[in-house]
A and B are shown apart, each in its own frame.
Chain A
Amino acid sequence: MIEVEAPRIAEKALAGQFVILRTDGRGERIPLTIAGTDKKRGAVAVIFQVVGGTTMALNEKRAGDTLADFVGPLGNPTEIAGVKKAIVVGGGVGCAIALPVARRLKEAGAAVHSVIGFRSSEFVILSEEFRAFSDSFALTTDDGSLGEKGNVCIPLRRLLEGETFDAVYAIGPLVMMKFVAAATEPYHVKTIVSMDPIMIDGTGMCGCCRVRVGGEMKFACVDGPDFDAHLIDFDEAIARNRAYLPFEAQARERHCNLYKKEVN
């Protein structure tokens, strides 16, 4: 997680929106979802995982360093109108994006039930923050080293079995969101996921971020990033996200020592 001084963006950004940044003049443009804003200090927080050259360079930044570009807020804010009772599912670093959505729901008067999942205890983030305001709270780890063993779908199904909800919001890895969509479908509950595809401009010009939703081509940057999970072609989205794997691997080789760090 880094915080960037960007008062104009901090003033306008709402949960669910994202920014595009470049670390330096030779850098690529990457989208990162906004994890929080502080209007008083004019700060915008973003979270990232080290996957390629830009995220490695970002990971090297220290307090007081600058970024070449920081553009936003982009995308549509998460739609919460009319939702009185919601489940918010976060997976891994996606929890940092799910948290402001959950908070915004709570502030709007909705009951919020949180389910967050991680690979194992050492990757757990923000669990106290979620627990603090959630009407119910569940935590899972794949290896059972903390909380319930297994994935987020287990407590999610349990919640859906017992009561009805207006909406489920899921933010995390594509595979997790795919399984959440499959889990909620039998319960006919509106399920919204936040897509984070490869992007360049963020204003609808490159078409790189296209996602198939209900058989139609949508651009995540201007039509999303939130979409109805039951309509998304996740397999295609997962394949498209792998488009630049060889480039990312090359970039990691160039900075191999850095890649060994995990970022939270």
Chain B
Amino acid sequence: MYDPRPTKYPMPVQDPEERRRNFGEVALGYDRETAVREASRCLHCKAHPCMEGCPVSVRIPDFIAKIAAGDFEGAYEVISESSSLPAVCGRVCPQEKQCEKFCVRGGRGEPVGIGRLERFAADFHLAQETEGELPAPNGHRVAVVGSGPAGLACAGELARRGYEVTVFEALHEAGGVLIYGIPEFRLPKEIVRREIGRLLALGVKIETDSVIGRLYTVEELKTELGFEAVFLGTGAGLPRFMGIRGENANGVFSANEYLTRANLMKAYEEDSETPIYRGRQVAVVGGGNVAMDAARTARRLGAEVTIVYRRGMEELPARREEAEHAKEEGIAFRLLANPVEILTDGENNAVGLKCVEMELGQPDASGRRRPIAKEGSEFTIAADCVIMALGTSPNPLVKMTTEGLATRAHGEIAADGEGRTSLEGVFAGGDAVSGSATVILAMGAGKRAAESIDRYLKGA
């Protein structure tokens, strides 16, 4: 029965006062009853514009109808036709810019909580003990480089088609940015491990601690190890810095370093051997999801945290929910401000951040209003720790070590819409091709490349 409620059913969350002291997941997920009610808010309009907003075209109205009817496993099956990692996407997709943006219900009131429902269906499925059938092997071998969203989606799709897939991962744990980048409180690592477990059950092999470009070149994967095709899902992890004075001071970190210490190495736990710098006053530079993640991690480690962003709240690229959660947790926002120097003491330790105030001018190439420095507006924020979250560029190793692999201006691997690179039998997708983007776009690219590899190897 249709539920006319104008707003989403609230997502149960950990209390902000509690959660700023722990790394447990913030959003707790709908229970069955709430999920059914939220699903009943869907109008089932004919045009289903939500699907157009989804980079992998999940059949959204269909899975919502299944939830409304209480068929949760059925809902999961609908989603998993299009998405390889629904429990992850339900949590980290920027739904307000994708599916939910186009929801008819959003015209008056709030759209249907599509992300929350996706998460519900995926969590329901993960909680069941299901045994997948192993697909019949087709005799072809494919190497996937990188075990982030693009690589996992590609591997999963190929494995389902009977390919023998080996994923090579540079770090000691599979998952890429889902493991080293996105914090536990936003995406529990147990969820990632279970999703990866499903791929292993399909027969996918994962070789951790294997840096392609060094241990084996892309060429050697084909010639020495006998893979017939290679997918490069190497991601965009090379951190950008501002090039300002003091940036190499102690206490200045890329968000990647800070988050890797916290997430991959679990440096916040008592028995972890990895040190993490527990600043008292932390300034995070940037306004994306990674900036929010770094700020909220620092907060949980006991710091007073300020986010410094050169545009306004309107332009903040982070998911709205993340910015709101950050505010609730007591993180300050210093908007329209841009760092010009990191101040240091005599021993190269950061002590402050000198900034200028900005104002917004005409829209730039990205469509956002260009920030312009106000003359004579310099001010200083005290900070013994500065985290740079300015975005990342594609990882350089494969580019550096693969002869003949065409790349673009910022080191992105050049690939066409089907993921084909300049090298025969070598495909690429995800952030390695697009520059840093979202989990869902990377997954979509990985899946498309898998279809393309399938056509390539079957000679179609």
A217-B241, A239-B347, A247-B275 given; A206·B215 CB < 8 A: no
Contact pick for B214, options A73, A207, A240, A242, CB 8 Å = A73
Stretch at the interface among A22-30, A40-48, A173-181: A22-30
A207 & B257 in contact (Cβ 8 Å cutoff): yes
Residue of B nearest to A248 (CB): B275
For the residues of A in contact with B, the DSSP-based class is mixed
Residues of B within 8 A of A217 (CB): 241, 243, 247-248
| A83 on the B face (CB < 8 A) | no
Residues of B within 8 A of A26 (CB): 266, 271-273
Contact pick for B348, options A28, A239, A247, CB 8 Å = A239
For the residues of B in contact with A, the DSSP-based class is loop
| B238 on the A face (CB < 8 A) | yes
A222 & B209 in contact (Cβ 8 Å cutoff): no
| B405 on the A face (CB < 8 A) | no
Contact pick for B257, options A71, A200, A222, A244, CB 8 Å = A200
In the complex the two chains form, what is the Cα distance from A177 to B391 in whole Å? 34
A70-B209, A217-B243, A240-B250 given; A206·B257 CB < 8 A: yes
Contact pick for A8, options B208, B215, B277, CB 8 Å = B215
Binary contact readout B263-277 vs A (1 if CB under 8 angstroms, 0 otherwise): 001100001111101
A71-B209, A207-B257 given; A236·B248 CB < 8 A: yes
In the complex the two chains form, what is the Cα distance from A200 to B277 in whole Å? 14
Residues of B within 8 A of A73 (CB): 214-215
In the complex the two chains form, what is the Cα distance from A170 to B425 in whole Å? 43
Binary contact readout B329-346 vs A (1 if CB under 8 angstroms, 0 otherwise): 000000000000000000
In the complex the two chains form, what is the Cα distance from A20 to B272 in whole Å? 17
Q: What is the number of residues of chain A that contact chain B, defined by CB distance less than 8 Å?
A: 42
In the complex the two chains form, what is the Cα distance from A17 to B260 in whole Å? 23
| A145 on the B face (CB < 8 A) | no
A222-B400, A240-B248 given; A68·B172 CB < 8 A: yes
| B395 on the A face (CB < 8 A) | yes
In the complex the two chains form, what is the Cα distance from A53 to B208 in whole Å? 24
Residue of A nearest to B265 (CB): A28
Residues in A lying within 8 Å of B, measured CB to CB = 8-9, 12, 17, 22, 26-29, 53-54, 57, 68-74, 200-208, 210, 212, 217, 219, 222, 233, 236, 239-240, 242-244, 247, 251
Q: Give 4 A-B pairs besides A8-B215, A251-B273 with Cβ atoms closer than 8 angstroms.
A: A26-B273, A71-B170, A203-B211, A204-B396
